[in-house]
Amino acid sequence: MNPAEFIPLAEKEGMIGQVTDYVIDNVFRDLGAYLATHADRYVSINLSASDFHTSRLIARTNQKTEQYAVRPQQIKFEVTEHAFLDVDKMTPIILAFRQAGYEVAIDDFGIGYSNLHNLKSLNVDILKIDKSFVETLTTHKTSHLIAEHIIELAHSLGLKTIAEGVETEEQVNWLRKRGVRYCQGWFFAKAMPPQVFMQWMEQLPARELTRG
């Protein structure tokens, strides 16, 4: 089942907290030891907007980072743009996450209703450019202009920028030229099980050197 189907259902039935706990437990079970021995690696966890509003999430994640000796900086939380519409409500929540050492990312940025004032007030760490702009940024003028605007906006606020849905070398080159240091997408790899991912990461430097 697609997350777009079961997440709204879990929220409606009051079960989203259980879903989030399951995700966090599995992230640390599968990758906790790996993260503890690779301080330069991190994992991003996607959150439901309704669950992000609860303070219990920080306590649970703190418990896991201590249990597995993982640094808080190695855990990022991603929430879609529409969750940040209520700036007054979200600002102290974001502050609490950041004070605990966790970075917060606005996921799928560009398709919601955020504006410059709200973005500055929220004080998040990362903007993720929605893949709908990335996939056509080299062929569609509107996507090109929107992506450039988002990148300039992020740089002006001192935010990290991650481009989603990168599938071609042309897209990578376009993004690099505009100062985007982080990309994700099938150009690099498709989704894979944790054990395969860890092996893939260990081979990554050699592949990058070979790619030149």
Pair 16, 57: CB distance under 8 Å: no
pLDDT at 152 over 60: yes
Three-state DSSP class for residue 187: coil
pLDDT of residue 83: 78
pLDDT of residue 117: 66
pLDDT tens across 84-97, in order? Answer: 778 888 889 999 99
Rounded CA gap, 36 and 27, in Å?
13
pLDDT of residue 211: 45
Q: What is the mean pLDDT of residues 104-126?
A: 79
| pLDDT over 70 percentage in the chain | 92
Please count the residues of the chain. Answer: 212
Q: Which residues does 149 contact at the CB level (< 8 Å), separation at least 6?
A: none
CATH architecture, domain defined by 3-204: Alpha-Beta Barrel (3.20)
Block residue for tokens 């709908």: 132
pLDDT tens across 15-57, in order? Answer: 888 999 999 999 999 999 999 999 999 999 999 888 887 778 9
Rounded CA gap, 107 and 63, in Å?
25
**How far, CA to CA in Å, does 54 sit from each of 49, 58, 59, 179?**
10, 8, 10, 35
Alpha helices, DSSP H only, in the chain? 3-12, 16-36, 49-52, 56-68, 87-99, 116-122, 131-134, 141-156, 169-177, 194-211
Which backbone phi and psi does 185 adopt, to 5 degrees? 155, 180
Q: What angle do CA 99, 102, 103 make, to 5 degrees?
A: 105
Pair 74, 44: CB distance under 8 Å: no
Pair 11, 50: CB distance under 8 Å: yes
Q: What is the mean pLDDT of residues 114-139?
A: 85
pLDDT at 170 over 50: yes
pLDDT of residue 207: 47
CA dihedral 183, 49, 87, 148 (to 10 degrees): 20
**How far, CA to CA in Å, does 40 sit from each of 7, 75, 209?**
31, 11, 18
* Domain ranges for the chain: 3-204
pLDDT tens across 177-211, in order? Answer: 999 999 999 999 999 999 999 999 888 765 453 44
Pair 135, 167: CB distance under 8 Å: yes
